[in-house]
Amino acid sequence: MNSTPTLLGQTVIYPSQYSPALLEPIKRASARAELTGLNASVLNLPFVGWDLWRAYEVSWLNSKGLPQVAIVQIQIPFDSPSLVESKSLKLYLNSLNQTVFKAPEDVLACLHQDLSQVVGSEIHIDLKTAEHFDSEHILEPNNSLCLDTQDIEVDCYTPNPDFLNTDASKKVITESVFSRLLKSNCPVTGQPDWASVHIDYKGTPIDHAGLLRYIVSLRNHEGFHEHCVEQLFCEIWHRCKPQTLSVYARYTRRGGIDINPWRATPGHQPPAYLPARSAQQ
């Protein structure tokens, strides 16, 4: 886990002027090194994917001083050396509030340059202005089984991959399941992070009760969103040994930003209910 002090949990003064220096990177390698069987080198990672960030509180001034608003979607590739610390991103975006840009394209270029630099990799970014806000929808995956309707007893709330198992006597299947019960905690502030997690795989059938118990076992776990999804992927990958695997978590918005990491075996299609153009294949 990253040990460098961050802005999370600290009282700060919100900036009044554009300030890219506010952005703070968090190295991915240290958290990845803690995962069983996972080499921190990107050359040996068992997955591809991205982290999809949506920022809903983005504003600036046009050339006449009139405030403009937008929703920004940022996709950071899985193999970037760093992710961006969420509170630093919020502060950075707020530093644009009194900054003049001639056009939305100038805002987009500014964000692309600053965020690519902080994560150490080329990012994909889109900006949606107010007239397109009505296209923002929350969609559930099609033809996916909800795990949460099972009538099971649960008494473990710390990560326990021993719950994961398959029936090797059965034929290989392709299956899509999801749960709305994923919860973890911020490792710095202790605040709860809530998500639905979507799992697609091809392999011998994974026991649904065990999979749900495993997902719930992360309830008191401390980890950043991206690290939790990589932990889910790696534990399912090593314990259940599917031929292909996709794990995608949609976290609820906090501080005007939601973070949605996706990890999958190479060649796997990205979630169909998100733009596919920036999938890292």
Q: Check if the beta carbon of residue 218 is closer than 8 Å to that of residue 251.
A: no
Find, among 235, 176, 248, 195, the residue nearest to 46 by Cα: 235
Q: Token pair for residue 94?
A: 């707020």
Judged by average pLDDT, the poorest of 168-177, 214-223, 263-272 is 263-272
Structural domain boundaries of the chain? 20-135, 145-264
Active site residue 234: no
pTM, 2 dp:
0.89
Same-fold call for 20-135 versus 145-264: yes
What b/e string do you get for 75-86 counting C-beta neighbours within 10 Å, with b at 16 or more? Answer: bbbbbbebbbbb
pLDDT at residue 195 above 70?
Answer: yes
CATH class (in words) of the domain with range 145-264: alpha beta
Task: Please give the C-alpha separations between residue 259 and each of 17, 36, 62, 204, 252, in angstroms, as whole numbers.
Answer: 25, 24, 28, 31, 8
Active site residue 193: yes
Residue with tokens 């639905």: 196
* Candidates 193, 200, 228, 258; catalytic one: 193
Question: Phi-psi bin for 180: left (phi > 0), alpha (psi -120 to 50), beta?
Answer: alpha
Give the CA angle between residues 204, 223, 221 to the nearest 5°: 70
SS3 call for 245? strand
Work out the average pLDDT over 9-24: 79
pLDDT digits (tens, 9 = 90+) for 74-120: 999 999 999 999 999 999 999 999 999 999 999 999 999 999 999 99
Work out the average pLDDT over 111-132: 94
Answer CATH for 20-135 from 3.30.1130.10, 3.40.50.2000, 2.60.40.10, 3.40.50.300: 3.30.1130.10
* Candidates 51, 114, 186, 258; catalytic one: 186
